[in-house]
Chains A and B, each alone.
Chain A
């Protein structure tokens, strides 16, 4: 024996009593059975998990059913937006009618202003023509009048000498007092006529001035004409703006109508307004090729095996949706389809498959 070898160690301590031994053995047996089953279950679980992960990583035909209730938050939100859009259309229509009425009034007003301008223009032209004709005539008459007045003035000078003679004749008693008064009245009348004649001359001179030069009166007319044209120009600008606004409002109404028309094709609209239960499913973009109208839909056990046909794709909505991947739980982008399901319970499945069975059985 090797001298360096130590004494053999004592055997491990055994359980004390037979009862304890039985207890230990049965506990161990149970533990081992449990451990064996659990470990195999864990192994199977891990294998299945890995297979499912791999399967969904490469499969290109799965879709995730989405159950939308009438009180679905998105549907309600969608409907609320739809109602608001319609309300906007109504408001815009009222605005359009008001704008159209205003535009019509403004058109009428503009027409009347244009007419007035035209009349004013005609009146000015007519008056100018008349002045051009009557002005020289009046000038000639004025010259004649002035010559007449000068003659009258000379006569009046002689008449003033007559007044002295009348007074001396009356004083001499050559004429009666009544005759003298009558003669003096006649002289006075002649002076008054002369004064009137001079006034008429002055007035005539004014008239000639008015007709032959541009006076303040003409300027006033021109100013009125300018104001009128300014009013028309401003009205044109206002009309142009109002017409553009009206056109924009009309376009906005059209856009809202278009948007509502598109929205009516949304699953949320259909869901909120449909009278019967609709079944939708999310299809990621990677699987879009499988999402064609009429493609069969399969529902499978364990999300991949023993599949059965449960319906067809009824409609494909092109609006983008983002949901969490049913297996990987990360966010994926895709679109929604409407399913025509013969087995409505399949809408509750985690996934369905479009076009064909994923594992051929």
Chain B
């Protein structure tokens, strides 16, 4: 009975993934209603919150990109908050404050290191704007990003809006090429059905816009979030999105609001990033299961399925990979899987080349290596995430980076 149940869940998980990708494709092509009605004339005040930890010089470029936004300069500000970086990040932030005087830039620093979620909350204290845009400190804004994000809030039920996160270093190596395809598929297909029902389950923290009133409502919950007394600092984006939906608001990803991020180039960094993400996914699963009745009454079925089956898929995948390695260890090495992955790589790299030239991948065949990564991801990251709920740090930026001298900026 148990194996049948396991297979059934796995099948459902796979089904929902496949169906979502297919639906994404269909909706993109045939259903204009999947796209939100945007109103560019409504230009609310905006605070761009920039929590930062050990980001070094990149934070300067990030603020620079925001300063070049084509949103009315009097209507937005930057609030950069340093979480006690051990490198020169804070100095770079101050330098940006001095250099980019065309927009108000407020720079702050926490008294002690407290994680991204609380750093966002601290930055929020200084905002009086209508819309809050929280970003990652390594994000490079597209000039239209703020305009595109705020235009979506014309629909009064929209609580949070996300942007499309593009990869700025697709051709650094195999790892970045793979991530480029994964990012593209996620934003351009996987999240489209969620957009259709205005119930995106996770808006990326790279570019996360939310009504300030709503964020103020949620701030105490975000601050008080803990796991058996240990503050939870990870996955605030997913958690905030989840809470937005639970408050009866809609969520949406506007793929026209672009920002660029450099994805990890080393396996160890990627592993840590994925571990953080997996951890937040699993936490979210437990939260969903704990409050399932409320979900059933408040959320769209598509949302509930996504919230349960996506993380459950990770757990089942772990069991499946273990079973596979025990019963048929070389099954993953067969040519069929490789052909499927290379086929997907061919299709997506073509689409990327056509629709997102900046992310064009020079060697799409590198995606074949994703088979090995899938194994690692299923086999190691899921159990490690399950067994390290008591830890919390800034993930990819937890370790001290090489000090960047505060000198002339090279763009």
The interface of chain A, by Cβ under 8 A from chain B, is 2, 4-10, 12-15, 21, 24-25, 27-28, 31-32, 34-35, 38-39, 42, 49, 53, 327-330
Residue pair B224, A31 in contact (C-beta under 8 Å): no
Question: Do A328 and B330 contact each other (CB < 8 Å), given the known contacts A9-B223, A12-B231, A27-B228?
Answer: yes
Q: How far is the CB of A350 from chain B (nearest CB, A)?
A: 12
A7: contacting residue among B97, B125, B231, B383, CB under 8 A: B125
CB neighbours (8 Å) of A330 from chain B are: 328, 330
Number of B interface residues in the complex (CB < 8 A): 35
CB nearest to B229 among chain A residues: A24
Check B114 against A28 for contact (C-beta < 8 Å).
Answer: no
Does any Cβ of A come within 8 Å of B75's Cβ? no
Given A31-B389, A53-B329, A8-B383 contact (CB < 8 Å)? no
Q: Spell out B's residues near A (CB within 8 Å).
A: 81, 97, 106-112, 114, 118, 121-123, 125-126, 223-224, 226, 228-231, 325, 327-331, 383-384, 387-390
Among candidates B81, B111, B121, B390, residue contacting A8 with C-beta atoms closer than 8 Å: B111
Interface of B is mostly: mixed
Q: Which of A6, A7, A21, A27 has the most CB of B within 10 A?
A: A6
CB within 8 Å for A35 and B81 given contacts A9-B110, A9-B223, A24-B228: no
The distance in angstroms between the C-alpha atoms of A25 and B126, with both chains bound, is 35
Tell me which residues across on chain B come within 8 A of A6, comparing CB atoms.
81, 108-110, 122-123, 125-126
Once A28-B230, A327-B329 are accepted as A-B contacts, the answer to whether A4 and B107 lie under 8 Å apart by CB is yes
Whether B223 and A28, one on each chain, are in contact in the complex, defined by CB atoms closer than 8 angstroms, is no
Cβ–Cβ < 8 Å partners of B109 in chain A: 2, 4-6
Contact of A21 among B118, B229, B330 (CB under 8 A): B229
The reply to whether B108 and A4 contact each other, CB–CB distance below 8 Å, is yes
Name the distance in Å between B112's Cβ and chain A's nearest Cβ: 7
Closest chain B CB from A44 CB (angstroms): 13
> 10 A-B contacts, Cβ less than 8 Å apart?
A4-B106, A4-B107, A6-B125, A9-B121, A14-B229, A35-B387, A38-B383, A328-B329, A328-B330, A329-B329
B325: contacting residue among A2, A14, A15, A49, CB under 8 A = A49
The smallest beta-carbon distance between B372 and chain A, in angstroms, is: 14
Q: How far is it, in angstroms, between the C-alpha of A313 and the C-alpha of B122 when the chains are bound?
A: 77
Q: Given that A39-B384, A42-B383, A329-B328 are known contacts, is A9 also in contact with B122, CB under 8 Å in the complex?
A: yes
In the A-B complex, the 5 residue pairs with the closest CB atoms: A8-B111, A35-B387, A12-B231, A24-B229, A6-B108
Partner of A35, one of B106, B118, B223, B388: B388
Given contacts A8-B112, A31-B390, A330-B330, 6 further A-B contacts (CB under 8 A): A5-B109, A6-B108, A6-B110, A13-B223, A28-B228, A39-B384
With a cutoff of 8 Å between Cβ atoms, the chain A residues found around residue B111 in the complex are: 5, 8-9
Q: Which of A9, A24, A34, A328 contacts B114 (CB 8 A)?
A: A9
Q: Known contacts being A4-B107, A328-B329, is A10 close to B81, with CB within 8 Å?
A: no
**Which of A13, A25, A49 has the largest number of chain B CB atoms within 10 A?**
A13
List the B side residues contacting A38 at CB < 8 Å.
Answer: 383, 387
Q: How far is the CA of A327 from the CA of B329 in the complex (A)?
A: 8
- Which A residue's beta carbon lies closest to that of B329? A328
- Cβ-defined contact, B110 with A13, below 8 A: no
Q: Chain A residue with minimal CB distance to B125? A: A6
Which residues of chain B are near A49, meaning CB under 8 Å?
325
Q: Bound state CA distance, A137 and B330, in angstroms?
A: 111
**Closest CB-CB distance, B320 to chain A, in whole Å?**
15
Whole-angstrom distance between the Cβ of A340 and the nearest chain B Cβ: 32
Given A38-B387, A329-B329, decide whether A9 and B228 contact each other with a Cβ distance below 8 A: no
Chain A residue with the shortest CB-CB distance to B384 = A39
**B380 vs chain A, min Cβ distance (A):** 8
Give A10's nearest chain B residue, CB to CB.
B223
Max chain B C-beta neighbours (<10 A), residue from A14, A25, A27, A330? A330
Report the separation of the CA atoms of residues A228 and B97 in the bound assembly, to the nearest whole angstrom: 129
Q: Is the CB of B125 within 8 A of A13?
A: no
Residues of A within 8 A of B110 (CB): 6, 8-9
Closest to A8 in B: B111
Q: Please indicate which of the listed interface residues A8, A34, A329 has the most CB atoms of chain B within 10 Å of its own CB.
A: A329
Contacts of A2 in B (CB 8 A): 109
B219 to A: closest C-beta gap in Å: 11
Task: Please give, as numbers and ranges, the residues of chain A lying within 8 Å of B389 by CB-CB distance.
Answer: 31
Of all chain A residues, which has the CB nearest B97?
Answer: A4
> What's the nearest-Cβ distance from chain B to residue A148, in Å?
118
Contacting pair A329 B107 (CB below 8 A): no
